[in-house]
Amino acid sequence: MPLEVDRHVSEIDDLLREVLDGPGVTTRGERTAARDGFGPGPMQAYLTKVREHSYRVSDEDFAALRAAGVSEDAIFELTVAAAVGAASQRLEGARRAMRRSA
Amino acid sequence: MLRLATLERGHSWPKRLFLGAIERIGQVRADDVLRISIYRPRFFGHAWMRFAKSILRGPSPWSAGERELIAAMVSRLNACPFCVGIHTGTATLGLARTVDLAMLENWRGAGLDARLAAVFELLEKRAADPDALTPADIDRVRAAGVSDGAISDVFYVAFMFDLINRLANAFGFTTGTVEGTRKSAAILHRLGYRVPGLLLR
């Protein structure tokens, strides 16, 4: 019998599929890396902030990304990928605890 | 104003018309979650809004108001003022009791029932170290009378807000005035996360 905690997993899979494969200016590889918290140049520090303490993101972070030539749509896509990755990782921790106590 | 101009003004014209119309009718800035969800929905918005409606308004052992309260608490733990503002507003309307930041910060003295108190305890532990949840933590919530289905739904609400809190903070969602936030919460309470399908294409 499927566990209660797996009830909405297919909806999250749909969300993840759109974020990784949906139309956009970045590649699937770049989005997958952002989901896992990685990015090139100034993107790395920014994505770490988004994942770990998003309340510290500032206008200066965006200025640094623009100065490095990152387009607005690329920032949008990689930010969403990083946020989805951080949320998924936290959900996975919860699902693990639920499965072990079932 | 959002930090990315394209999220502010880059929508196709039918969507700009829609945003303008709801701002005129509601007399308040269109909600920034809506604004980014209809920007490029085949990348982000289509599955997201479906998920939001399912988790926050679909069948669950928790009432819609209780889910809004859990959403507000997750948002407080993630330090997201925008989502705390909106979802304390929707929780207040859904539960017919005042829910505000002070209540979330001092929830132990707020007279929550045993189930919600156990859930808040769990959420605080999870916020301190998301990888440290143990089967014993889950068992403590079960012992307070919370079913596995209800615990799971807490984790799905937490997933949603772990995601949107980060986007709100990163993109600089606009908090607005107390009155504006109250209006936005009232609109969300009434519409219940329903977005016309045409806008999610």
- Residue corresponding to tokens 């949320």: A87
For residue B24, give its domain range. 5-200
Interface test with B, best of A1, A3, A6, A8 (most B CBs within 10 A): A8
The Cα of A41 is separated from the nearest Cα of chain B by a number of Å equal to 18
**DSSP codes of every residue in A66-78:** HHTT--HHHHHHH
Q: What angle do CA B15, B20, B24 make, to 5 degrees?
A: 150
Instruction: Return left, alpha or beta for A17; rule: phi > 0 is left, psi -120 to 50 is alpha, else beta.
Output: alpha
Q: Which of A4, A18, A80 sits opposite B167 (nearest CB)?
A: A80
pLDDT tens digits, residue range B41-51? 999 999 999 99
* Cα gap B169→A18, rounded to integer Å: 22
Query: Please, what is the angle between helix A72-101 and helix A28-35, to 10°?
Result: 50
Q: What is the pLDDT of residue A2?
A: 65
Q: What is the pLDDT of residue A101?
A: 85
- Amino acid residing at B182: R
Q: What angle do CA A21, A59, A31 make, to 5 degrees?
A: 15
Between chains, do B4 and A22 touch, taking CB under 8 Å as contact? no
Beta bridge pairs of residue B44: B40
Of B188, B193, B191, B157, the C-alpha closest to B92 is B188
Burial A46-59 (b: 16+ CB within 10 A, else e): bbebbbeebeebee
pLDDT tens digits, residue range B99-122? 999 999 999 999 999 999 999 999
CB B71 within 8 A of CB B164: no
Average pLDDT of chain B, as a whole number: 96
**Could you give the dihedral angle defined by the CA atoms of residues B85, B88, B89 and B95, in that order, rounded to the nearest 10 degrees?**
180
pLDDT over 90 for what percent of chain A?
Answer: 89
Q: Please say if the pLDDT value at position B68 is more than 70.
A: yes
Beta bridge pairs of residue B40: B44
Domains identified in chain B, total number? 1
pLDDT tens digits, residue range B19-33? 999 999 989 999 999
Domain presence at residue A2: no
**Average pLDDT over every residue of B178-190:** 93
Q: What is the pLDDT of residue B175?
A: 79
Residues 60-79 of B with CB under 8 A from A: 78-79
pLDDT tens digits, residue range B70-110? 999 999 999 999 999 999 999 999 999 999 999 999 999 99
Q: What is the pLDDT of residue A1?
A: 52
Domain presence at residue A3: no
* Cα gap B174→A53, rounded to integer Å: 18
CB B54 within 8 A of CB B67: no
* Cα gap B47→B70, rounded to integer Å: 22
Alpha helices in chain B (DSSP H): 5-9, 13-26, 32-37, 46-57, 64-77, 81-95, 101-105, 114-128, 135-143, 148-171, 178-191
Q: Please say if the pLDDT value at position A5 is more than 90.
A: no
**Average pLDDT over every residue of B146-151:** 96
State ipTM. Answer: 0.97
**Model confidence band, residue B176 (pLDDT cutoffs 50, 70, 90):** confident
For the domain that residue B116 is a member of, what is the CATH number?
A: 1.20.1290.10
For residue A90, give its domain range. 8-101
Domain presence at residue A31: yes
Q: Which of B3, B131, B137 sits opposite A59 (nearest CB)?
A: B3
Domains identified in chain A, total number? 1
Residue B181 neighbours by CB distance under 10 Å: 20
Backbone angles phi, psi at B44, to 5 degrees: -145, 120
CA dihedral over B146, B70, A9, A92, signed as positive or negative: negative
pLDDT tens digits, residue range B154-171? 999 999 999 999 999 999
Residues 107-146 of B with CB under 8 A from A: 126, 130-139
Residues 22-41 of B with CB under 8 A from A: 39-40
